[in-house]
Amino acid sequence: MTDTAGTWSGRFSEPVSELVKRYTASVFFDRRMALQDIRGSLAHARMLAKQAIIAAADLAAIERGMAQIQGEIERGEFVWNLDDEDVHLNIEKRLTALVGDAGKRLHTGRSRNDQVATDIRLWLRDTIDAIDGLLADFIRALIDTAETHAATPLPGFTHLQVAQPITFGHHLLAYVEMMRRDRSRMQDVRRRVNRLPLGAAALAGTTFPIDREFVAKELGFDGVCENSLDAVSDRDFAIEFTAAAALVMVHLSRLSEELILWMSPRVGFIDLADRFTTGSSIMPQKKNPDVPELARGKSGRVFGHLMGLLTLMKGQPLAYNKDNQEDKEPLFDTADTLIDTLRVFAEMVPGIKVKPEAMRAALKQGYATATDLADYLVKKGLPFRDAHEAVARAVQAAEQRGCDLADLALSELQAFSPLIGEDVFAVLTVEGSLAARDHIGGTAPAQVKAAIARLRAAL
Ligand code: ARG
């Protein structure tokens, strides 16, 4: 009997079928965790030597062999072998080929069950740290663009109908808030990821006098998983990560939808830099927002992975089951999708070309300052409901005339309420409307700038 078979074949009377070998092997995707696997093995081996479970000479041989293997992997020379099933057995087998019996002693007091759980957690921790940096980059890009447009008026929509004037900067800062929550959600997930499963062995712990706290410290974990069965079996940390990633994708998908809409010639509020768009192979006039469209589409696969991982977990009895091998591809793809999307967005946002005239024209067509007129009447003593009614009639009149509220003469406006005076025109302008929303969280340009200052200080 050959290959992996060598690792656990003692009790079998025939080799694994080729079909089953391919069906059960994970090496062609879990080799992504090779460096984490080596890190985990080295920490385990150091602990074994410290506890006199293996000899100092064995540790030295393991360290020498692992250094060589790491070099081979980094140079792309390592030969991955399907017969050796997964990343763990591939590396262990190579180690034994390089250093002999010391390599065979590495697995003392350990199982692939706690080994793989450790590798994923190490991998995910690294990944979360990379995502944190990318979220920060994207937040910075949004803030910079928001600063340029702290006073650029844009129609704010509700029900996709023009509602009230806002600034483009204020609009972008809404996404900054979402991304800040996403960032803190990732940090929260990280705390629960950062626990050491090693020491759980197959499921029940080990008979060797191990020192789990030492291994945890070596690997930068905040502590150990407190229950051996839980340590090897639950993947809730991967589910949580995917849920947090799904929310980032929801936010990016909403922004994508807006960019696509704003770039449509029917709206024409923005243009994306040419390098983020593509042409059509048949229609020469086209400039398509493929990047935001793809991001909107890619959110679907991340939601799918979340559902996949939840389903993977739900029927499993304690403790480890091979089902768990299926956690990796969704997890990897979730991380890849999120990382690529964040990178592209951080570059795309500063290249947004804003078209202020189109935004202003849409504001005028939509009677965006109607609420301001109602508020004006309330401040003159009219109950809000009556003010609402008076302004609704004024809007109707302006609509019939095909003009903006501000284009009606004072005498015409006074027909809707005698409380209206010459000072009404300051209220009906877009700038007046914006400046009036002057409180924390409001769209007044001064508030947008103050928010930006706070956000920069917090970054
Ligand atoms: N490749 C396996 C996984 O990803 C490693 C653990 C396998 N353990 C076992 N007893 N079959 O989960």
What does the pLDDT look like over 113-161, one tens digit per residue? 999 999 999 999 999 999 999 999 999 999 999 999 999 999 999 999 9
Catalytic status, residue 280: yes
Is 417 among the residues known to form the active site?
Answer: no
Extract the runs of DSSP E, i.e. beta strands, from 136-294.
153-158, 161-167, 195-196, 223-224, 270-271
- Give the 3-state secondary structure of residue 361: helix
Domain presence at residue 267: yes
Say whether both 318 and 245 belong to one domain: yes
- Of 119, 53, 125, nearest to 88 by C-alpha is 119
10 Å Cβ neighbour count for 79?
8
Helices (H), 10-86: 18-24, 27-30, 34-50, 56-74
**Token representation of residue 432:** 């007046």
Element at 405 (helix H, strand E): none
How many angstroms does the Cα of residue 287 sit away from the middle of ligand 1?
A: 48
- Same domain for 239 and 146? yes
The CATH code of the domain that includes 411 is 1.10.40.30
On whether both 272 and 143 belong to a single domain, the answer is: yes
Pocket test for ligand 1, best of 21, 24, 107, 113 (most atoms within 8 A of CB): 113
The reply to whether 313 and 387 lie within a common domain is no
SS3 for 196? strand
**87 and 30 Cβ atoms separated by less than 8 Å:** yes
Query: Is 388 part of any domain?
Result: yes
Q: Which of 86, 80, 70 has the alpha carbon at shortest distance from 25?
A: 86
Cβ neighbour number for residue 152 with a 10 Å cutoff: 21
Q: Which of 13, 159, 281, 411 is catalytic?
A: 159
User: Which atom of ligand 1 is found nearest the CA of 327?
Assistant: 4
Question: Where residue 231 sits, what CATH number does that domain have?
Answer: 1.20.200.10
Q: Is residue 3 part of a domain?
A: no
The residue type found at 194 is N
What does the alpha-carbon distance between residue 192 and residue 247 come to, in Å, rounded to a whole number? 18
Q: Which residues line ligand 1 (CB under 6 A)?
A: 26, 30, 86, 112-113, 116, 322, 324-325
For ligand 1, what atom is nearest to the CA of residue 202?
A: 10
34 and 58 inside one domain:
yes
The dihedral over CA atoms of 111, 310, 193, 51, expressed in degrees to the nearest 10, equals -10
Residue of minimum CA distance from atom 12 in ligand 1: 325
Q: Which residue type occupies 224?
A: V
pLDDT digits (tens, 9 = 90+) for 282-295: 888 888 999 999 99
Contact 168, 373 (CB under 8 A): no
Atom of ligand 1 nearest to the CA of 328: 4
For ligand 1, the distance from its centroid to the CA atom of residue 113, given in whole angstroms, is: 6
Cα separation, 343 vs 384, in Å, equals 47
Cα 412–415–419 angle (5° rounding)?
105
Name the residue range of residue 126's domain. Answer: 113-360
How many angstroms separate the Cα of 193 from the Cα of each of 3, 230, 263?
33, 13, 40
Q: What are phi and psi of 163, to 5 degrees?
A: -110, -75
The pair phi, psi for residue 416, each rounded to 5°, is -90, -25
Q: Is residue 245 part of a domain?
A: yes
In which residue ranges of the chain is pLDDT below 50?
1-2
Among protein residues, the one with the nearest Cα to ligand 1's atom 3 is 325
**Domain total of the chain:** 3
Token pair 């991955």 in the structure block, residue: 80
Residues 67 and 158 in one domain: no
The protein residue whose alpha carbon is closest to atom 4 in ligand 1 is 325
Atom 2 of ligand 1, residue of closest alpha carbon: 325
Check residue 278 and give its pLDDT.
83
Residues 383 and 353 in one domain: no
Which among 360, 387, 413 is the end of a domain? 360
Assess whether 247 and 299 both reside in one domain.
Answer: yes
Is residue 7 domain-resident?
no
Examine the fold and report which residue of 89, 108, 127 is the final residue of a domain before the chain moves on. Answer: 108
